[in-house]
Amino acid sequence: MRLAETQEPHSAASTFQQLANTRMDFVRAGRLDKAVQRYRSAHGNLPGLPVVRLALLGSSTLGHLHAGVRVGALRHGVLVDVYENAFGMYRQEAADVSSGLHAFRPDVVCLALDAHHVAASGGEGRAEQVLADLRELWRAVKEMLGCVVVQQTVLPVHWPVMGNQESRLPQSPASVVESVNRLLRSEAEAQGVYLLTVDTWAAIDGLSRWFEPALWNRSKQEVHPRVSDLYGEQVGRILAALRGKSSKCLVLDLDNTLWGGVIGDDGMEGIVLGQGSAVGEAHVALQRYALQLSERGIILAVCSKNDEANALAPFADHLEMVLRRKHIACFVANWQDKATNLRYIAETLNIGLDSLVFVDDNPAERALVRRELPMVAVPELPEDPSGYVGTLAAAGYFEALEVTAEDRARAELYRSNAERENLRRSTTDMGGFLQALQMELTWSPFDSIGLKRIVQLMNKTNQFNLTTRRYTEAEVAAMLDDPSVLTLQLRLSDVYGDNGVIALLVGRLADSATLDMETWLMSCRVLGRNVEEATLNVLVEQARAMGCTRIVGTYRPTAKNGMVRDHYQRLGFAALGQQEDATRWELWLDSYASRDVPMTIKGGKTWTTHTCTAS
């Protein structure tokens, strides 16, 4: 920690984050948190780490959790400023626009209500009343503060009155808490609220680790300080997911990872996989878990030191294999070092190295990758393969807030993209390659059907993102009927399939003749295909329909969006100069001629001066 406090900001950010990823307890987390706070006070925020203002609103003592939350979020690449309401005053502060809560202007509110408060009076209908009150509170917080709401589930701290038949006494405190947690799980999604499921984690860790009656009686601390780091870890995962920092790709080794033994030496008959062997079943369990991740949108890749033919054989012919070649978006089997191959995988899939999680049974390979590519997540696997799934799941690399239809199709999207990339590498005629793709770009304004996917993309796209501005679902929903806002969502399809929504644009009328672009983001999957030029053709057409004669664009640099530093210049915008931490660019529309692009463009709706109508 002392070293970090003497370093320049970029190095300090890296060192603090590495320290946050070491084993923590209440005391160590407190020390690290103080060191980070001292550094921020002296030098400002740490580069590359976005700041989230989090309000912890609760009915019990929460101050002992602040350090754990800040360190848990730092572990996932997010800095957090925490606000806590005066004891028991969460409702009053939410309703009072002059309160400290409103002055704090939180990005996220986490409602952490204790079990005694929730089950206060007990009685029949208590759980439904609690849910009705929470729905109203969620609505008020969203409307008044415009922030994301996270609802903590309730710790089951009450002893049963009837024992195993407790559910037959719905008015008991234990039954009320159980009912509230059940109702929360069905209601939160419908209300656009995210859950912090402390009851689940307490069930895994043991409730006695999370709750101690004596501590509650003395200081009204429901969550025990010894699990403050675990609590902070869960909060940190949610905040990181909101900022698009969850990992995207699981890279798997083969020998002694996906199966037992060495395929090159033992042959198909000699590897250990499947029923009849504890080791074989453990490797199947890892494959099943990987497949479940793939089905909810995580990309799978293989990185193995093997001859490719040997490595592929079990995927094609072994009856106990759960994973098949079609599930793997990028398959790399050769004798190069794995750090080099991981760079190749990231390049082929067009994702950042910090989106990769590398799973390998070999400690030496793990050490090499950690040394060469510290941004790649490398879980420390146990020797017993039966612990692989638990280790991977507990690390929380792939925390997700929503699962959309496009998430479910992502594995296929990336597999197709890898095929396109291989075709591109094998051709020297780029124009012919692009024409052969037979691309079709389809655009439309934002709509309620695609709202969740739009919000998800806005909050997770980091590289091709001109301003990296994040939005809540309520903010995006407000754009749908705002005549001063131009929104565009663009899909791209080609001979290999549908790439889904690949670009989002938001522009606001700065005056009657100027459209000011506050967001322009695009998927890196479609780079190098002239999609930027095609998108500009659409943007100019729609800006003209709004009566605009000029488009102004902004580039605000971050640690990850250097690739679009010259975006506006390449598209013919003229420099307007520097504005605070951003560069500004302008394009006059009277002289703009549509670019020739190797794709068909199809539109959904056309903007008039103040309305959006179907064409």
Residue 579: CB atoms within 10 A of its CB come to 10
pTM: 0.72
Say what angle helices 308-317 and 263-270 make with each other, to 10 degrees.
20
Cα–Cα dist 114/153, whole Å = 9
CA dihedral 581, 587, 588, 592 (to 10 degrees): 180
> Rounded to a whole number, what is the largest CA-CA distance in the chain?
80
At a CB cut-off of 8 Å and minimum separation 6, what does 182 contact? none
Q: What are phi and psi of 529, to 5 degrees?
A: -120, 15
Q: Which residue has the tokens 């989230």?
A: 52
**Model confidence at 542: pLDDT above 60:** yes
Helix (H) or strand (E) holding 299: strand 299-305
Q: Which of 305, 475, 488, 502 is nearest to 413 (CA)?
A: 502
**Model confidence at 585: pLDDT above 70:** yes
Cα–Cα dist 20/15, whole Å = 9
Helix (H) or strand (E) holding 195: strand 194-196
Cα–Cα dist 288/294, whole Å = 10
Query: Do the strands 497-511 and 514-522 form a parallel or antiparallel pair, or are they unpaired?
Result: antiparallel
User: What pLDDT band is residue 605 in, cutting at 50, 70 and 90?
Assistant: low
pLDDT digits (tens, 9 = 90+) for 458-489: 988 888 999 999 888 888 999 998 999 999 99
Residue 251: CB atoms within 10 A of its CB come to 28
User: What pLDDT band is residue 612 in, cutting at 50, 70 and 90?
Assistant: very low
DSSP for 150-190 reads EEEPPP--SPPSSGGGGGG-TTSHHHHHHHHHHHHHHHHHH
Cα–Cα dist 511/505, whole Å = 18
Contact 286, 239 (CB under 8 A): no
pLDDT digits (tens, 9 = 90+) for 501-541: 999 999 999 998 999 999 999 987 788 889 999 999 999 99
Cα–Cα dist 582/346, whole Å = 29
Contact 606, 545 (CB under 8 A): yes
Query: Do the strands 582-588 and 249-252 form a parallel or antiparallel pair, or are they unpaired?
Result: unpaired
Cα–Cα dist 339/324, whole Å = 24
Contact 522, 500 (CB under 8 A): no
N- to C-terminal Cα distance for the chain? 61
Secondary structure of residue 504 in the 3-state scheme: strand
Residue 375: CB atoms within 10 A of its CB come to 12
User: What pLDDT band is residue 89 in, cutting at 50, 70 and 90?
Assistant: very high
pLDDT digits (tens, 9 = 90+) for 305-355: 999 999 999 999 999 999 999 999 999 999 999 999 999 999 888 888 999
Q: Which residue has the tokens 């291989």?
A: 422
pLDDT digits (tens, 9 = 90+) for 206-247: 999 999 999 999 999 999 999 999 999 999 999 999 888 889
Cα–Cα dist 346/605, whole Å = 36
Long-range contacts of 292-295 (CB under 8 A, 24+ apart): 293/250, 293/398, 294/327, 294/411, 295/408, 295/411
pLDDT above 90: percentage of residues in the chain: 67
Highest mean pLDDT among 10-14, 56-60, 120-124: 56-60
User: What pLDDT band is residue 608 in, cutting at 50, 70 and 90?
Assistant: very low
Structure tokens at 374: 């510290």
